[in-house]
Amino acid sequence: MVDATLTAANDETHIDAEAKSPVVFSLPETVMPNMWLTDYDSLYYNDSDGYWEPPVDRHLLANLTRRNAQHGGIVQSRANMAASRFTSGGMSAQQVTATFLNLVKFGDVALLKVRNGFRQVVRLFPLPSYRTRVAGDGGAVVLERDSNVKHYKAKDIIWVRQYDDVQQIYGCPDYLGGLQAALLGEDATMFRRKYFINGAHMGFIMYATDPNLDPNVEKDLQDKIQNSKGVGNFKSLFVNIPNGKEKGLQIIPVGNFESKDEFGNVKTVSSQDVFNAHRFPPGLGGMVPINTAGFGDPEKYEVVYFKSETKLLINILVDAVARDAEVGDKLQLVFDLE
C-alpha cells in the first residue's frame, strides 16, 4: 500500500514525509479487488489435468453458507423443499437432497451413471460439486487428495446446470448478487464480537497533565493499559503531557458503531439483500418482521414459491436425466409436482 503524504497545496518542492510531516494517509482500499470474484468473461483450461477451472471460486461458495446465517439457511431450505417432493427413481432420498444442495450452492452438479457388469446403468450418484470439474471431453474430473484426480468419461456423466449467459461449461448459482451483502453481514458480526471480547471498558485515550506523576506509576499505567483484555480492533493509549492545556489532546470519532446501533441496521439490510438475492419469502426463512403486520400466511407463500422457483429447479434435474438415452424408465426421477 502506498502512503500519500499530507503537504501544503502551494508547496512546489518535494518534502520528505518522514523528516517534515508526521501525518500520512493511506490510499483508499478498493472495494472490489481484482474486479471482484464474480467478474469473468472466459474460463481457464487446465492442460495438465484436462479440465476447465470454474468461473467462481468454489471454496468461497462452499464456505459462504457457514459464514452467513441467512444465506446458509436459505440454501439448505431450497434444497430441502425440492427434495421433499421426490417419490421414486434412480437415487435415494438422501442422494436427491445432496443433488439439489450442490445444484443450488454451486449452480451445477454432475450425476455419475453407475453401471453393472454388463455396462448397464443401474443407478445414479451425485458427485460433490466442490471438487468436481468439467473435463475437456465433457466428462468430469474429481479432485482428490495429494493432487490426484479421477477422470470420468462423458458417457458416464449427466451434467445438470443452472444457465449462465456468460459461459456454458459450468452452471451459475443464482444468488451471486447477494455475495457482498452476505459478507457484509459476517463483517458486522465479527466486528461486534471483537468489541465484546475486547471489553467495552477499553478503546480510549487516557490523558494526564500532572507534572508530578511518578514515573513508576506512569509506567505501571502504560503496562496495564497495553496488556488489558482484548487485542482486537480496539487499542488504548496512555499520554502524559505535564502542564498540558485542557483539550490539548482529543480524539474525535468518525462514527460510533455502538451508540448509534449501526450494527442492527447493517444486519437488517444485509439479511434483506440475501433474501432478495434468493428471491426467498422472508416468512419461510425465519426472518423476524419489523412491523406489526408480519409477513402474512406462510402456506400461501410456500405455494407461490414452489410454482415459481422450486418446481423449475426440479424440472431442470428431471429433464437432464430424462434426456439421457441410457437411463431406463425405472431410473427416471419422479417428483410430486402438485
pLDDT at 11: 47
Mean pLDDT on 78-95: 96
Please name which of 316, 47, 50, 337 lies closest in space to residue 172, comparing C-alpha atoms: 316
Cβ(71)–Cβ(189) below 8 Å: no
- Determine which of 13-22, 176-185, 319-328 has the lowest per-residue pLDDT on average: 13-22
Mean pLDDT on 303-309: 90
pLDDT at 310: 95
- Determine which of 29-43, 303-317, 318-332 has the lowest per-residue pLDDT on average: 29-43
Q: What is the pLDDT of residues 64-73, one digit of tens each?
A: 888 888 889 9
**Helices vs strands, H then E, count in the chain:** 9, 14
Whole-number Å distance between alpha carbons of 262 and 87: 47
Whole-number Å distance between alpha carbons of 173 and 165: 12
Backbone angles phi, psi at 160, to 5 degrees: -115, 125
Average predicted confidence (pLDDT) for the chain: 80
Q: What is the pLDDT of residues 168-185, one digit of tens each?
A: 999 999 998 888 888 887
pLDDT at 102: 98
What is the domain partition of the chain in residue ranges?
Answer: 40-181+311-335, 201-257
Please name which of 299, 260, 290 lies closest in space to residue 272, comparing C-alpha atoms: 290
Task: Reply yes or no on whether the pLDDT at 323 is more than 50.
Answer: yes
CA terminus-to-terminus distance, the chain? 58
Mean pLDDT on 182-197: 75
Sign of CA dihedral 304, 310, 312, 315: negative
Strands (E), the chain: 3-5, 24-26, 45-46, 51-52, 86-88, 108-115, 121-127, 132-135, 140-143, 149-152, 157-161, 205-208, 237-240, 334-335
Cβ(60)–Cβ(37) below 8 Å: yes
| % pLDDT > 90, the chain | 44
pTM passes above 0.75: no
pLDDT band at 313 (very low <50, low <70, confident <90, very high): very high
Name every residue whose Cβ is closer than 8 Å to that of residue 188 and which is 6 or more positions away in sequence: 263, 266, 267, 270
| % pLDDT > 70, the chain | 72
Whole-number Å distance between alpha carbons of 199 and 194: 8
- Determine which of 113-122, 141-150, 291-300, 329-338 has the lowest per-residue pLDDT on average: 291-300
Cβ(206)–Cβ(236) below 8 Å: yes
Q: Return the SS3 of 299.
A: helix
pLDDT at 201: 47
pLDDT at 13: 47
Q: Return the SS3 of 111.
A: strand
pLDDT at 18: 44
Please give the C-alpha separations between residue 74 and each of 97, 98, 225, 276, in angstroms, as whole numbers.
14, 15, 44, 11
Mean pLDDT on 328-338: 94
Q: What is the pLDDT of residues 222-278, one digit of tens each?
A: 777 667 654 455 566 667 777 767 766 555 454 454 545 577 777 778 888 888 888
Cβ(77)–Cβ(277) below 8 Å: no
